């Protein structure tokens, strides 16, 4: 076992305070859980590779949501640039992994779980180090939300 348990790592990380972004992070959590399930299923590698592709497409759209949010906020241009650069780095890294998965179709469940661990860690790290900063640029704050 790799010790993967995204259910414990996500809840406190996904509360950015923007409804759309928070909902997308919840979907992302579900997709990662789904990826882990498909990694351990005793089937050929196609389902895993399809699930990974679904996750990549969702992530691409999610990053566009965040970049639109940042453009419409008062976030300094340099901070936006760094966040966007990290989105691109992450997409590149996951695309490379995806190519390897397609090439090694039907690879062992252990190798798929290693991929899951990388994906889970990269996405959680990104939320923890970049996405949380968007909290400071929320336009509307509900009652009880501190400045």
User: Measured from the CB of residue 21, what is the shortest distance to Fe ion in angstroms?
Assistant: 6
User: Measured from the CB of residue 62, what is the shortest distance to Fe ion in angstroms?
Assistant: 6
67 versus 117: smaller Cβ distance to Fe ion: 67
23 versus 44: smaller Cβ distance to Fe ion: 23
25 versus 112: smaller Cβ distance to Fe ion: 25
What DSSP line would sit under 31-92, residue for residue? HHHHHHHHHHSSS-THHHHHHHHHHHHHHHHHHHHHHHHHHTS---HHHHHHHHHHHHHHHH
User: Measured from the CB of residue 103, what is the shortest distance to Fe ion in angstroms?
Assistant: 28
Cβ neighbour number for residue 82 with a 10 Å cutoff: 13
Q: Which residue is nearest to Fe ion (CB)?
A: 131
Residue numbers at the binding site for Fe ion (CB under 5 A): 66, 130-131
Among residues 136, 125, 123, which one has the least CA distance to residue 58?
123
């Amino acid at each position: 076992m790799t010790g993967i348990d995204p259910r414990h790592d996500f809840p406190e990380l996904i509360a950015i305070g923007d409804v759309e972004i928070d909902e997308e992070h919840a979907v992302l959590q579900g997709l990662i859980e789904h990826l882990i399930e498909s990694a351990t299923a005793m089937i050929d590698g196609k389902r895993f590779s399809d699930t990974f592709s679904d996750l990549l497409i969702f992530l691409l759209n999610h990053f566009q949501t965040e970049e639109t949010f940042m453009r419409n906020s008062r976030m300094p241009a340099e901070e936006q640039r760094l966040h966007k650069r990290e989105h691109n780095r992450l997409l590149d890294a996951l695309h490379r992994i995806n190519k390897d998965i397609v090439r090694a179709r039907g690879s062992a469940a252990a190798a798929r779980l290693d991929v899951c661990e990388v994906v889970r860690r990269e996405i959680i790290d990104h939320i923890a180090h970049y996405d949380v900063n968007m909290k400071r640029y929320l336009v509307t704050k509900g009652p009880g939300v501190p400045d």
